[in-house]
Structure formats: structure tokens, C-alpha cells
Amino acid sequence: MAKRVINFYAGPAGLPLPALERAQAELLDFSGTGMSVMEISHRSKEYEAVHNEAIALIKELLSLPPNYHVILIQGGGHLQFGMVPMNLLYKGRGADFICTGTWADKAYKEGKIVAGELARCAASTKDDKFARLPYPGEIKIDPSSVYVHFTSNNTVEGTQFHTWPETGGIPLVCDMSSDFMWKPFDVSPFGIIYAGAQKNLGPSGVTVVIIRDDILQQCLDKELPSYLRYRIHVEKNSLYNTPPTFGIYILRNVLAHNKEIGGLEAIHRRNLRKAELLYACIDRHADFYRPFVKVKEHRSAMNVDFFLPTPEQDDAFVKAAKAAGMVGLKGYRDVGGIRVSMYNAVSVENVETLVAFMEEFVSKQG
């Protein structure tokens, strides 16, 4: 096998090696067809088996109740920013948006394009550079809202909701793109969950949407272009148009691997250990590894931002880490510094290697 680096990219991100090895073994002859999965019809029984298995695994791993539907769609989170309000905000119906980061803010702006002033900002931490989450008393929910939108993990800034916003029973709509399936959770407060696959689940090009039946029944139908209707994707089992078949195949491989290693409970234990290791190192050397997020309760277990004392040292850190076989550590362009993305496919051993590197780096540069 060719040498593989330790991948800390924020997305597209690393994938579990067994999922890739399965794809490698089946690439030229998938399921005895004499073709790759990229070459066969999405209407074939061989592909439909993969498609249905991916959906079934999502339901199983999340313990989804029967009143939730799973959609596999293209367009990423950006399409969902507009698709959710297009389906639900009509005839004077409004929604609240909790603005906690770059992507949460984009979702709010797309909501305003669709619904104007009926898309309301219930709270924002923009004045604090999105370096923290709103405290409960700062979130002002309009009781007439159809839903409350939030982003569970802020990939750019490194904050994460560890408890859900309190809405007084109003359904939550959540962009979980960067922490979907990082742990088990109760889906019942959520009307819609959506997640681009390219962080925790698979390659870019596939988005998982989970929608509760009572919310689906409120969605517009004939008033929207066909592809933008949630109803049609549910009715057609996400086969209304040609789906991203290879992406869904890899998604299936990842989900099957997740089940094999113990499901979300096992994944959660590993993720907590990775965060514990990295944050302990940062806290030991807080004058050198300076965290962007100052409120410890708001720290993300998926994306960790910090700065070294000078931009030159940031650059030296990234270059030295790459030379040591670790890539993807340069911070997002709007924040800078260092960003470590520790999605599900990143192992505890990978983070131990990074922490050992950080200890050596601070001993030389600190």
C-alpha cells in the first residue's frame, strides 16, 4: 500500500481505510457485474441494493423512529440553506436563525432571500467573531416561528453545541454537516437535519437530509420546481433524478464500517478521547498554543482552532507538520492560525502523533 498521510483537512476529509479498501477491491467488478459501481444504471438491482442499504444504515445507526424519512440529495449544505425556507416559509410563515459562525450566517442570509423579514436572527455572536456560542438568555425565539435553524458545529470557528437550543417546542432545523454521527443523539426535537457527507460520512457530492413526517406534510409541493420539493425526493426514494451513485456507494461503505466497529457509541468514545488529548496539550501551553474559542464549554470536538505567537510560527508549524506526515492544518482563510479537524476517520493514534509533534515543537519554539 502507498504511504498515507495523517489527514486533518476540514473537508473533503479523510475516510476510514477499510471503506476505501472495499471500494478498491470492487472498483473494476462491482457485485459481479463486470463494471464499476460508477458505470451501472442507478435503476439496476445491484445499485438499488447499495442505495437502500445506505438509507437503512442511517436509520439503524441513529435509531430513527418510523416517522422520519431519509433523503440522499446533491447540492451540499448550500442547497439546503435555500431549500428549507423555500419548502416551509410561505404565506406569512417565519423562522428564527441562531447565527454562530460562517455557515450559520450564510443559512440566515439565504433564509432572508426567501422570506425577507420573516427570517429572523434569534441570536448572533458575530460581534465576538463567532468565538463563542450564545448563552440561553441571549436567544430570543418568536413563538410563531415554524422552525428554529442552527448549526450544530461551526467548522470555521471551532464551536459546537453540546446541548440543543431550547425553543419551547418549536421544531429544530439543523445543519450537522461537520459533526453528524459523531455521537448518538435523540432526534425527536428535530424537524429537519441535513449534513454534507464530506466531513464524517463520505466524499463531497452527497447530502443526507432527515425530515420528520409532520414537517414534510407542511412543505410546498406543486408550487416549487420539482427538484426543490422534499416531497418528491421522499416519494421517489431519492431516485427522482440520477443520484451521485459513487458517492452513495462510499457513504454505504463508511456507514457499514461504523456499524462494524460498534456504532455511534464506540465512535463517540473515540471522539471524546481525541478532544481530551488535543485540548490538554493546548491548555498545558496556553501561552504558545492560543485557542480561538475562549469558553471551554463551547469547544468543538471536531474542529480545533488555535494560534501560535506569530504568523511566521503558524507557517513553520504547518510546514513542519507536513514534513512529519500530517496535512490539512492551515487555518481557514477568514480566521488564520491552525485548525485541526478530527472527524470520525481520524484515529486516537493520529491525534497522539499530533500531540507528540506539538510538544516537541513548543520545546523548540516556545
pLDDT, tens only, 97-106: 999 999 999 9
Give the CATH number of domain 263-365: 3.90.1150.10
pLDDT in tens, 17-48: 999 999 999 999 999 999 999 999 999 999 99
Strand stretches in 271-352, DSSP E: 290-291, 303-307, 326-327, 338-341
**Is 183 designated active site?**
no
Check residue 128 and give its pLDDT: 97
Check residue 165 and give its pLDDT: 97
Give the C-alpha separation, 77 to 64, whole Å: 21
Identify which of 155, 94, 196 has the alpha carbon closest to the alpha carbon of residue 293.
Answer: 155
- List Cβ neighbours of 266 (8 Å cut-off, separation of 6 or more): none
Query: What SS3 class is residue 83?
Result: helix
pLDDT at 5 over 80: yes
| Domain boundaries along the sequence of the chain | 17-260, 263-365
In Å, what is the CA distance from 277 to each residue of 301, 329, 352?
A: 11, 17, 7
Mean pLDDT of the 85-90 span? 98
* DSSP code per residue over 6-18: EE--SSS----HH
Query: What SS3 class is residue 80?
Result: helix
Check residue 87 and give its pLDDT: 98
Among 96, 182, 199, 314, the active-site one is 199
Identify which of 313, 300, 63 has the alpha carbon closest to the alpha carbon of residue 159.
Answer: 300
**Kind and range of the H or E run holding 261:** none
Which letter, b or e, does each residue of 195-221 get, where b requires 16 or more Cβ atoms within 10 Å of its Cβ? bbbbbbbbbbbbbbbbbbeebbebbbe
**Is 274 designated active site?**
no
Task: Name the band, by pLDDT with cuts 50, 70 and 90, for residue 334.
Answer: confident
pLDDT in tens, 344-357: 999 999 999 999 99
Among 96, 175, 179, 314, the active-site one is 175
**Is 199 designated active site?**
yes
What CATH class is the domain 17-260? alpha beta
